[in-house]
Structure 1
Amino acid sequence: MIYDNHGRPINYLRLSVTDRCNLRCFYCMPEDGINYLPKKELLTYEEMFRLVKIMSDLGVSKIRITGGEPFVRRELMSFLWKISELGGVEQIHITTNGVLTAPLVPELKQIGIKSVNLSLDTLDRENFRKITRRDELPKVLDCLEQLLKHNIAVKINAVVMEGKNIDDLIPLAELSKNAPIDVRFIEEMPFNGEGNHYPTLFWTYRRILDLLKSHYPDMYKIADSPNSTSYNYQIPHYQGTIGVIAAFTRTFCGTCNRIRVTAQGILKTCLYDDGVLDIKKLMREEADDQAVTHALLHAFKHRAKDGYEAEQKRQSHAPVTESMSTIGG
């Protein structure tokens, strides 16, 4: 096990395999998209496998594959099989928008994927089209059905947006009634290629909770798992659970065990920093595994205390505006 300079364990890597996405979600990127990186600027699968091996040797046992949308990158399934065979990797999770995922679910089950986080902000087809700027809701719901059919644990990630999907929150919460689905409502963040959409964040985690409690007065708090990013609740007689993630308010930083590596090979020890180590550059300058390990440990020992400190120390001195698609969701 490795620890940062604040005594927090680091055992969870969120690895982005691409910055490309087949949706154009309001909270993630501008309507006309972002400038995608040329393929040569991305980590190769060989470089990503090497990185995962180094990380697993250091004690990182949980890997989440993200994007962009991870399944738009070719040969992803082969990569998943390969990292599943690493002895130190105990859990592999995936975050996806579900558009391309349904046909792959049986193989994901064979690989041993621990869980899937499915991005879904509304169950209304027209509202889905407005939020994502694409008409793909039937494919996403098919993915959800397949995940449940194959007994892969599933969480719904729903970003709460003023004027966009507030009327959708209760229908989404109802997904947890008759199936073991954990629905997570997330504060909107400025990682959309444009910056904050609102002068102040209206739908804070407390306001989201108040709305849920007004509809479900019997909803009660349940224990949060170690290093949980969400405050979790149970509605009596519902199979799944409800959670709220204070992603913008940043109340969970004290137990953060996660690091991120972007598709470009940039290490982020906090979502709100702008990158603390160029792993791709190290590898392509032919640094050996020991040198890469040393650089990673150095970065872990100089980690920001929380998201506010990380934001203040951004090397660019620019406010947060980059698209979540370039960071890794």
Structure 2
Amino acid sequence: MLTDNHGRTINYLRLAVTDRCNLRCFYCMPEHGLDWLERKELMSYEEMLRTCTLLVSMGVQKIRITGGEPFVRRDMLRFLTALSRLDGLDELSITTNGVLTAPLVPKLKQIGIKSVNLSLDTLDSNRFFAITRRNEFAKVMHTLDELLEHDIDVKINAVVMDGQNTQDIIPLVQLTRELPVSVRFIEEMPFNGDDHTYKGLEWNHLRILHEIREAFPLLRKIQDPAYSTSANYHVLGHKGNVGVIAAYSRTFCGTCNRLRITPQGELKNCLYDDGVLNIKDKLRAGLNNEQIKQLLLDAVNKRARDGWEAERARTLTRGIHESMAAIGG
């Protein structure tokens, strides 16, 4: 198994395949002025497949494809099919906003995708438009229906934002009454592409949980899966579950098992770091597989203890200015 300098097992890769997105959520990117990467700046499918093959050979067992929105990149299904065939890869999953996903669900099932994270911050179409700046609510809900129809495990990710969608917390929990979904509430983070100033966290994981408990007194703590970033709960009598992710408070760093690769090929040991190795540049420089693997090992052995340490190290050079789409959600 691949382990870091703090003795943590590293077996999970989040691979962002594009920075482009067909929504414009204000907490993720500015409405205007964000320049998309040129194609040559992105990792090619061949480069991503080679990198994933090496990481799987080193102990990575799970890969999650993210963006931007993965399905705005052409030939994504072909790439997913190739990934699904990697020897040693136990789980391939996707995070999507659902706008383009519904027609693809049967093929995703055929490929072997068992789990999809669906970004959905509200069940109100007007608030959806206000948050995403796009009128695509119906398509996202159609994707949810299709995923459930095809027995694909669904986690609904909702970012909780003061003054924007806190009134959606209870309706989203109510979804779990009849649907076998996990609704996960995520603390807002400062990755907004510098369009607005991040003024700190009004709704942390404790406040979110309190809000849920007040409305659902039958909420009970359940066992968290290994390496879980969410604290997980179940309302007695409901079919689904509820999770709360302390993404800004960073309470789960001690068991972090993941690496991130951005669309530009930058390896990140932590969401909050500056990036520790540009894999794309090394591949294009002609390094062989053993040299790449050694660089990956060296990078993993220089991980920050937690997200706070990673953020402190980066602010020595520059603060957080990226869009989440450029990092990989």
The amino acid across from 1:291 in the alignment is: Q
Partner of 2:86: 86
CA RMSD of aligned residues (A): 1.1
**Structure-to-structure mapping, 1:238-257, within 5 angstroms:** 238-257=238-257
Partner of 1:7: 7
* Native 8 Å contact 2:190 2:198 kept in 1: no
Partner of 1:61: 61
**Structure-to-structure mapping, 1:190-229, within 5 angstroms:** 190-194=190-194, 197-229=197-229
Measure how far apart 1:114 and its partner are. Answer: 2.1
Equivalent position SS for 1:313:
helix
Equivalent position SS for 2:242:
strand
What stretches of structure 1 move > 4 A for 4+ residues in a row? 195-198
Partner of 2:319: 319
**Structure-to-structure mapping, 1:89-108, within 5 angstroms:** 89-108=89-108
After superposition, the C-alpha distances for 1:269-299 in whole angstroms (9 at most, x for unaligned) are 0000010001001000000000000000000
Partner of 1:134: 134
**Structure-to-structure mapping, 1:1-329, within 5 angstroms:** 1-32=1-32, 34-194=34-194, 197-314=197-314, 317-329=317-329
After superposition, the C-alpha distances for 1:238-263 in whole angstroms (9 at most, x for unaligned) are 01100000000000000000100001
* Native 8 Å contact 1:24 1:33 kept in 2: no
* Native 8 Å contact 1:156 1:182 kept in 2: yes
Measure how far apart 1:322 and its partner are. Answer: 0.6
* Native 8 Å contact 1:195 1:320 kept in 2: no
Measure how far apart 1:34 and its partner are. Answer: 1.4
* Native 8 Å contact 2:204 2:249 kept in 1: yes
Seen in structure 2, the aligned counterparts of structure 1 residues 103 and 33 have a Cα distance that, compared at 3 Å, is farther
Seen in structure 2, the aligned counterparts of structure 1 residues 74 and 52 have a Cα distance that, compared at 3 Å, is same
Inter-partner Cα distance in structure 2 for 1:215 and 1:319: 38
Inter-partner Cα distance in structure 1 for 2:90 and 2:203: 36
After superposition, the C-alpha distances for 1:73-98 in whole angstroms (9 at most, x for unaligned) are 00000001011111111100100000
Measure how far apart 1:315 and its partner are. Answer: 7.3
The amino acid across from 2:253 in the alignment is: C
The TM-score normalised by the length of structure 1 is 0.98
Seen in structure 2, the aligned counterparts of structure 1 residues 252 and 129 have a Cα distance that, compared at 3 Å, is same
The amino acid across from 1:145 in the alignment is: D
The amino acid across from 1:153 in the alignment is: D
Measure how far apart 1:199 and its partner are. Answer: 2.7
Equivalent position SS for 1:320:
coil
The amino acid across from 1:80 in the alignment is: L
* Native 8 Å contact 1:96 1:119 kept in 2: yes
The amino acid across from 2:191 in the alignment is: F
Inter-partner Cα distance in structure 2 for 1:297 and 1:315: 25
Unaligned runs of 5+ in 1: none
Unaligned runs of 5+ in 2: none
Inter-partner Cα distance in structure 2 for 1:150 and 1:106: 7
Inter-partner Cα distance in structure 2 for 1:102 and 1:175: 19
* Native 8 Å contact 2:30 2:195 kept in 1: no
Inter-partner Cα distance in structure 1 for 2:103 and 2:239: 26
* Native 8 Å contact 1:190 1:196 kept in 2: no
The amino acid across from 1:109 in the alignment is: K
Equivalent position SS for 2:49:
helix
The amino acid across from 2:18 in the alignment is: T
Inter-partner Cα distance in structure 1 for 2:34 and 2:288: 34
Measure how far apart 1:316 and its partner are. Answer: 6.4
Seen in structure 2, the aligned counterparts of structure 1 residues 171 and 197 have a Cα distance that, compared at 3 Å, is farther
The TM-score normalised by the length of structure 2 is 0.98
Inter-partner Cα distance in structure 1 for 2:282 and 2:100: 33
Measure how far apart 1:173 and its partner are. Answer: 1.0
The amino acid across from 1:294 in the alignment is: Q
Seen in structure 2, the aligned counterparts of structure 1 residues 195 and 311 have a Cα distance that, compared at 3 Å, is farther
Seen in structure 2, the aligned counterparts of structure 1 residues 3 and 29 have a Cα distance that, compared at 3 Å, is same
The amino acid across from 2:67 in the alignment is: G
Inter-partner Cα distance in structure 1 for 2:31 and 2:166: 21
